[in-house]
Copies of this chain bind each other. A is one copy, B any other.
């Protein structure tokens, strides 16, 4: 398989999961209020999002911008067909999520052994096996779990993370009953050839898993990696409104791919997303005002293709 690309089709549609309220805002110096977060989340739903990561239930001191996730979750209106989820790292977080009214959480573990050991002195496999109490609790309480594998393509400690290592972590997630997994390029090190190779491989080895890809645009390859994911037949992508987010190892570097940019590319490609791009652009502009700086969104800056045409023709 190495080096070859199988015949395929462009997807008819993709699902874009909005992770800005968590992966974006956790990197911001400006702390938004609960009401601001709720407003952004509700406007994002109104713009078409159906899966939104609203925050994380982690220790407030370790990630201060996420300390109010309980309050945010409690204020959100439940809407048929809309999934609010939050990131948790342990049973305590899961209990907080449940108490705040969430039905779904995302458990996260690093694929990189060196990263995981340096961070929390456990191997990735130990981390995921440690989630079994969360899995038991979720089963008993009717909660839904997904999993995220961070540094799934590369890691500042190890360089490229091998597909075998990623498969081993996936196996552990499957053992505890998680069947929705995202592969996260936490530090923006993935490349399209690797995304295609890893995507094809995980789909072949674990055909019962729903796959999500999570890219950062740190080195400009974010949307290129989405294209490679599409070629591998994966149709769920995380993105962050206004392109919020960052890379803990490259201060000032670009963060997650911007939701607006991904919607715009898909629309131009004839791939349905269910989003209203103009509404997302308006949200992006609100966010830039709230955090008081420009963000790494191309379409917020340059405008849509169709704006360009309209503006020029109006002249």
> Measuring CB to CB, which residues of chain A are less than 8 angstroms from any residue of chain B?
3-10, 154-159, 187-189, 191-194, 217-224, 226-228, 231, 247, 249-250, 252-254, 257-258, 261, 264-265, 268-271, 298-299, 301-306, 308-309, 311-313
Contacts and interface: CB of A to CB of B under 8 A. Distances in A.
A265 B191 contact: yes
A312 B2 CA distance: 30
Contacts of A9: 3-5
Contacts of A231: 5, 231
12 contacts: A3-B9, A5-B10, A5-B231, A156-B309, A159-B305, A219-B299, A219-B305, A220-B223, A220-B298, A223-B224, A224-B226, A254-B302
Nearest to A247: B302
Given A3-B10, A194-B269, A219-B299, A189 B224 contact: no
A269 B192 contact: yes
Contacts of A253: 298, 301-302
Nearest to A251: B302
A301 B252 contact: yes
Given A157-B309, A269-B191, A261 B219 contact: yes
B217 A305 contact: no
A238 to B, nearest CB: 16
Given A303-B250, A309-B157, A298 B223 contact: no
Given A3-B9, A228-B227, A298 B254 contact: yes
A224 B261 CA distance: 12
A207 B261 CA distance: 34
Contact of A220 (B193, B222, B249, B271): B222
Given A221-B265, A231-B231, A247-B302, A311 B226 contact: no
Contacts of A227: 192, 224, 227-228
Contacts of A3: 9-10
A6 B9 CA distance: 8
Contacts of A301: 250, 252-254
A220 B219 contact: no
Contacts of A311: 156, 249
B6 A7 contact: yes
Given A5-B7, A7-B4, A298 B219 contact: yes
A309 B265 contact: no
> Which of A192, A301, A311 has the largest number of chain B CB atoms within 10 A?
A192
Contact of A219 (B221, B265, B270): B265
A84 B285 CA distance: 44
A177 B182 CA distance: 52
A135 to B, nearest CB: 32
A209 to B, nearest CB: 23
Given A191-B265, A193-B269, A218 B298 contact: yes
Nearest to A308: B156
